[in-house]
Amino acid sequence: MKRSTGKSGGLKSKLISPIDSGNGEHRKITQFVDNARKQVEQELREKEEESHISHVHTYSDLRIQAFLLSIPSLQFPLEILLKTKLVYLSHRFDDSVDQPRILQTVQEVIAYKDDPKQLLHLFGNVGKYIASGIETCPFPEAVYLGFQRIAYGSMFINTGIERDLEAFLEEYKRISFNGLDRDVQSSLETISPLSYALTSKTVQEIWFGCETAYNRTLAELWTLLFTPGVLFHDIDEEKEAGELYYSHEYTPPIRDINKMIEIAEAFLPNYEDSRIKQRHHQLQCFIKAFRPVLPDSTYRAYENLEQQLQKRV
């Protein structure tokens, strides 16, 4: 698999751009998104590191992802810059931990699974660069948790021993459930551990940790909400690249995938959110962007959720 480059590296964009060039707010967000990408690439080159971002996503799709994740920060330009940098760097980190040849052995990832700060330093200048960005966030511990969960995703992929996989899945639940409201935890227990582990690809605490207020459970509900779309985006490319642990032995049941959206729909009304208007628009743009890759039942689940959020705007 070729790496993503500015010319897409042989990969094909699968998302529909939700960016309306005639919308002044959209133009404002994309300006910051594009500036942040240039900044990340320049700073990686200054550290004598490859400036590529992702092995499996085109820059076009990454730009859309950064745009989507920045919508709630429309009134906060510095948040947009920070969120966008973390979009690109989380993909860079994800590729690194999913491809353990970059380290001496996946055992190094496992050794630091409970210390995300030290884990990042295993990746030399890139890891230190990511850590320095995290430390500028209003809630750095939330962002570190997100990167820790990404690292667990690597362990799901690279362990060949069933008992180790089961242990990692239980530990992943432990760290992910920590701080969540109990009723949400109980609902998450109805999703199979392997399916729930897919949330290691979405970890919204990274971007919620960039905002002025942080609620652990609210961030997790949006993690659940985004997981189905991210799963179906470039699923074949991620299988080929070896970045999906279930590629040969396990396919997540569609009922588990749709249940994530249903849980978000059930609990989101319980939480105050000063940015609900922006997040509703974020969801609308997300559905538009990911529609080409969504199964019909998943698309309908998203539509139901969007209609519910519309009532709160």
Q: Please write the tens of the pLDDT for every residue from 242-258.
A: 545 544 456 788 999 99
DSSP 265: H
Are 299 and 215 a contacting pair, CB within 8 Å?
no
Kindly report, residue by residue over 115-170, the tens digit of the pLDDT: 888 888 877 788 888 999 999 999 999 999 999 998 888 777 666 656 678 888 88
Kindly report the backbone phi and psi dihedral angles of residue 156, in degrees, each rounded to the nearest multiple of 5, phi listed first. Answer: -65, -40
User: One-letter amino acid identity for 217?
Assistant: T
- The band of 44, judged by pLDDT with boundaries at 50, 70 and 90, is confident
Cα gap 26→23, rounded to integer Å? 5
Mean pLDDT of 26-37: 91
- Decide if pLDDT at 261 tops 70: yes
Distance of alpha carbon 167 from alpha carbon 193, whole angstroms: 11
Model-level pTM?
0.87
Question: How far apart are the C-alpha atoms of 182 and 272, rounded to whole Å?
Answer: 17
- Residue 186's alpha-carbon distances to 4, 98, 225, 254, 272, in angstroms, are 39, 30, 17, 20, 21
Query: Which pLDDT value is given to residue 236?
Result: 55
Using the 8-state DSSP alphabet, how is residue 292 labeled?
Answer: G
- Which has more pLDDT, 53 or 225? 225
Of 71-75, 94-98, 113-117, 293-297, the least confident: 94-98
| pLDDT at 10 (0 to 100) | 46
205 within 8 A of 223, measured Cβ to Cβ? yes
Name the percent of the chain lying above pLDDT 70.
Answer: 81
Pseudo-torsion of CA 76, 60, 96, 94, nearest 10°?
A: 50
| Residue 15 pLDDT class (50, 70, 90 cuts) | confident
Mean pLDDT over the full length of the chain: 84
The confidence band for 260, taking pLDDT boundaries of 50, 70 and 90, is: very high
Q: Worst-scoring range by mean pLDDT, 77-91, 98-112, 202-216, 222-236?
A: 98-112
C-alpha distance across the termini of the chain, in Å: 43
Q: pLDDT confidence of 5, banded at 50, 70, 90? A: very low
Q: What is the dihedral of CA 39, 43, 49, 51, to 10 degrees?
A: 10
When pLDDT is averaged across residues 185-212 and rounded to a whole number, the result is: 94
CB 205 within 8 A of CB 249: no
CA distance readout (Å), 42 to 25, 35, 123: 26, 11, 18
Q: Which of 82, 58, 60, 61 is nearest to 70 (CA)?
A: 82
